[in-house]
């Protein structure tokens, strides 16, 4: 394994940066490539067929260009729909991102948990299976919010976030039957941890928010155990399928997270 071979992160936008942080803490000298399908953003409002066709094709091009040691689909929507197809198509290990229902169920005292994701994620049979396997004794409430995805992107561009917009999105869980007893919420979209402060402020009572980023970092560490890495940190590359003013405005946030270069796919 070439010590400079990168770990490739993929998302529809910049939500996957919430996964990059724990991974970089674990592997501080690894070279990272972050790829965002800005031309296809957002995935949460697309059909399953569109995502299942688009994601493997894009990852095939990215793997051919960057020859990564590992691919991380840092997107719940893409993972719940296209993970098996991507793994069959690529000859490198692929780590997916799925809703953290198991740790949420383990943590909940009230046995009412929420799953907050995109519309496409929360309707997936995969979420049904996770709920049945790990939260069968819980009430599992679900709500999809495209608005929170857009707000997270705006926050990373340095724009203002109206707290009432976050509160309105979270009300989609609290207003359901049993929502007043909910004590744990799964952030089933990698964009949503970027709004952690706003979500905590929007909760009507103390709430535990759970996401899968730490588990993904541990999986990356396990799959790359014993591999050779650079001795010193290497600046990362951010790749976008469309580079426009919105992407250029992300420059400071990307640089803060170690991505010094932005290029088009």
Distance in angstroms (rounded) separating the CA atoms of residues 212 and 217: 9
Distance in angstroms (rounded) separating the CA atoms of residues 169 and 151: 11
**Residue written as token pair 């960057």:** 66
Which structure tokens are listed for 190?
């990698």
Distances (CA, A) of 187 to 33, 130, 199, 212: 24, 14, 10, 8
> Containing H/E element for 36?
strand 32-36
Helix 163-174 crosses helix 146-156 at what angle (to 10 degrees)? 150
Q: State the Cα angle at 44 between 143 and 47, rounded to 5°.
A: 115
Give the per-residue SS3 of 44-89: HHCCHHHHHHHHHHHHHHHHHHHCCCEEEECCHHHHHHHHHHHHHH
> Containing H/E element for 264?
strand 259-264
Residues with a known catalytic role: 75, 189
Q: Where are the alpha helices (DSSP H) in the chain?
A: 17-26, 48-66, 76-89, 101-107, 119-122, 125-134, 146-156, 163-174, 196-202, 213-223, 245-248, 251-256
């Amino acid at each position: 394994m070439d010590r400079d071979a990168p770990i490739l992160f993929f998302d529809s936008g910049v939500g996957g940066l919430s996964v990059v942080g724990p991974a970089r803490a674990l592997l501080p000298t690894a070279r990272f490539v972050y790829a965002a399908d800005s031309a296809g953003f957002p995935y949460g409002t697309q059909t399953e067929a569109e995502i299942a066709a688009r994601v493997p094709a894009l990852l095939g091009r990215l793997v051919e260009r960057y020859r990564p040691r590992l691919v991380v689909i840092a997107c719940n929507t893409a993972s719940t729909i296209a993970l098996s197809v991507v793994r069959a198509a690529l000859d490198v290990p692929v780590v997916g991102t799925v809703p953290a229902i198991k740790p949420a169920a383990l943590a909940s005292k009230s046995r009412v948990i929420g799953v907050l994701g995109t519309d496409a994620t929360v309707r997936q049979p995969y979420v049904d299976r996770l709920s049945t396997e790990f939260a069968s004794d819980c009430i599992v409430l679900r709500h999809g919010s495209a608005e929170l995805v857009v707000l997270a992107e705006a926050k990373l561009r340095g724009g203002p976030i109206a707290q009432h917009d976050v509160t309105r999105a979270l009300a989609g869980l609290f207003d359901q039957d049993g929502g007043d007893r909910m004590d744990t919420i799964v952030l089933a979209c990698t964009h949503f941890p970027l709004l952690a402060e706003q979500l905590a402020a929007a909760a009507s009572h103390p709430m535990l928010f759970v996401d899968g980023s730490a588990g993904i970092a541990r999986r990356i560490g396990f799959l790359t155990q014993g591999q050779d890495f650079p001795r010193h940190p290497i600046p990362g590359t951010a790749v976008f399928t469309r580079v426009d003013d919105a992407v250029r405005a992300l420059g400071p946030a990307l640089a803060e997270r170690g991505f010094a270069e932005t290029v088009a796919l």
